[in-house]
Amino acid sequence: NAGVTQTPKFQVLKTGQSMTLQCAQDMNHNSMYWYRQDPGMGLRLIYYSASEGTTDKGEVPNGYNVSRLNKREFSLRLESAAPSQTSVYFCASSEPSQPQYFGPGTRLLVL
């Protein structure tokens, strides 16, 4: 039982490049989330998916897109990376109104 897994662990991009962060959970949770964590800013919600087939914007959605591929997988795409998107990205999953379980994170550096 791996919980929440994320790939890649670390990525370096140049400004303007695109990439997709992958997330999968094996807990059969309905809801999945993407956060970014920056020093002094805490964890901020980018997008969430309350259930398979739905996605909604969180606090900081600009510059990102998401896809809920199936119940297990939820990906985050940066179409044209900017230095302001340098951050640590966490995926999480839960049942609605229940605690969330987090993955190990992806560290992204945009030059």
Partner 1 sequence: QKEVEQDPGPLSVPEGAIVSLNCTYSNSAFQYFMWYRQYSRKGPELLMYTYSSGNKEDGRFTAQVDKSSKYISLFIRDSQPSDSATYLCAMINQAGTALIFGKGTTLSVSS
For partner 1, give the closer residue by CB, 103 or 110: 103
Could you say which residues in the range 52-111 bind partner 1, by CB under 8 A? 56, 58, 90, 96-105, 107
DSSP assignment of 72-103 equals: SBEEEEESS--GGG-EEEEEEEESTTS--EE-
Report yes or no: 23 and 111 within 8 Å, Cβ to Cβ. no
CA gap 23, 72 in Å, rounded: 8
Stretch that binds partner 1, among 19-27, 44-52, 62-70, 71-79 (CB under 8 A): 44-52
Q: Select the residue interacting with partner 1 from 27, 41, 69, 111 (CB under 8 A).
A: 41
Return the bridge partners of 64, or none: 78
Does position 4 bind partner 1 by CB under 8 A? yes
Number of residues lying near partner 1 (CB under 8 A): 24
